[in-house]
Amino acid sequence: MGKVLLIVVLVLLVLAVAQMMRVYELSSKVRGRKEPTITRRENNMNAVLMLVFCIAFFGFVIWQMVAYGMGGKGPSVSIHGEATDWLIGLNFGIIIPVFFLCNALLFYFAFKFAYKKDRDVYYFTHNNKLEMMWTVAPAIVLAIIIVLGLRTWNDITDMSGDYVVHEHTGLVVNDGQVESNFEFKAAYQTVEEAGVGLSNLSGSSKLVLVEKGGEWVLQTYEMDGESALIITEQKKFNSRNSALLSLVDEEVSMFTELKEQKHIEIYSKQFDWTTRYAGKDNALGDANFKLIDYNSWGDTNTFLNPLGLISSETIELHFNRIDARVSYLNEFLGSAEAAFETDEKLAEMTEEMERLKRKKMRVQSTIANDMGLNAMNQSEVNSRVYDDVILKGDIHLVVGQPYQFQFKSQDVIHSAYFPHFRAQMNCVPGMATQIKFTPTMTTKEFREHPDVIAKYEAINKAREKVGKPLVEASFLLLCNKICGLSHSNMWVNVIVETQEEYEAWMADQKTFEQQLQASNLK
Ligand SMILES: [Cu+2]
Q: Residue 421 CB: number of other CB atoms within 10 A?
A: 27
To the nearest 5 percent, what fractions of the chain are helix, strand and coil?
Answer: 50, 25, 30
**20-49 per-residue burial string, b: 16 or more CB within 10 A, e: under 16:** eeeeeeeeeeeeeeeeeeeeeeeeeeebee
Of the candidates 186, 180, 247, the residue with the CA atom closest to the CA atom of residue 218: 247
pLDDT, residue 201, reads 46
pTM of the model: 0.74
Q: For residue 455, how far is its CA from the centre of ligand 1 (angstroms)? A: 26
Distance between Cα 426 and ligand 1 center (Å): 10
C-alpha to C-alpha distance for 139 and 131, rounded to whole angstroms: 12
Q: What's the pLDDT score for residue 202?
A: 47
CA atoms within 13 A on the CB side of 441: 22
Peptide bond just before 271 cis, omega within 30 deg: yes
Domain boundaries, the chain: 38-156, 163-260, 263-284+388-522, 285-387
Domain boundaries 263-284+388-522, CATH class: mainly beta
Q: What integer pLDDT is reported at residue 137 of this predicted model?
A: 92
SS3 137: helix
Give the contacts of 33 (CB within 8 A, at least 6 positions apart).
none
CB 308 within 8 A of CB 302: no
Ligand 1 centroid, distance to 269 Cα (angstroms)? 7
Note down pLDDT in tens along the chain; length 522 residues.
Answer: 678 899 999 999 999 999 999 988 888 778 776 666 778 888 889 999 999 999 999 999 999 888 876 656 778 888 888 888 889 889 989 999 999 999 999 999 999 988 888 888 888 888 999 999 999 999 999 999 999 999 888 888 877 666 666 566 666 666 666 666 655 556 665 666 665 555 544 455 677 777 776 778 887 777 666 666 677 777 888 877 777 777 777 777 677 777 788 899 999 988 889 999 988 888 888 888 877 776 555 555 566 788 888 887 788 888 888 888 888 888 888 887 777 878 888 888 888 888 888 888 888 777 766 555 565 567 777 778 888 898 888 999 998 888 899 999 988 999 999 999 999 999 999 889 999 888 988 999 999 888 888 888 988 999 999 998 898 889 999 999 999 888 999 999 999 998 889 989 998 888 888 888 877 777
d(CA 287, CA 314): 10
Q: Is 152 helix (H, G, I), strand (E, B) or coil?
A: helix
288 CA distance to ligand 1 centroid (A)? Answer: 21
Determine the distance separating the centroid of ligand 1 and the alpha carbon of 418, expressed in angstroms: 13
Starting at the earlier edge strand, list the strands of the sheet with 254-260: 177-185, 163-174, 254-260, 206-212, 215-224, 228-237
For residue 514, the CA-to-ligand 1 centroid distance in Å is 30
* Residue 271 CB partners (closer than 8 Å, separation 6+): 479, 483, 484, 486, 487, 489, 490
SS3 state of residue 390: strand
Say which amino acid occupies 224: D
Residues 6+ apart with CB under 8 A from 426: 407, 413, 414, 415, 416, 433, 481
Alpha helices in 71-173 (DSSP H): 79-112, 128-157
Å from CA of 157 to ligand 1 middle: 21
How far away, in angstroms, is 266 Cα from ligand 1 center? 12
Ligand 1 centre to CA of 413 (Å) is: 7
The Cα–Cα gap between 500 and 496 comes to 12
Residue 482: alpha-carbon gap to chain centroid: 15
Question: Cα(416) to centroid of ligand 1, in Å?
Answer: 8
- Cβ neighbours for 178, distance < 8 A, ≥ 6 positions apart: 171, 172, 241, 244, 245, 248
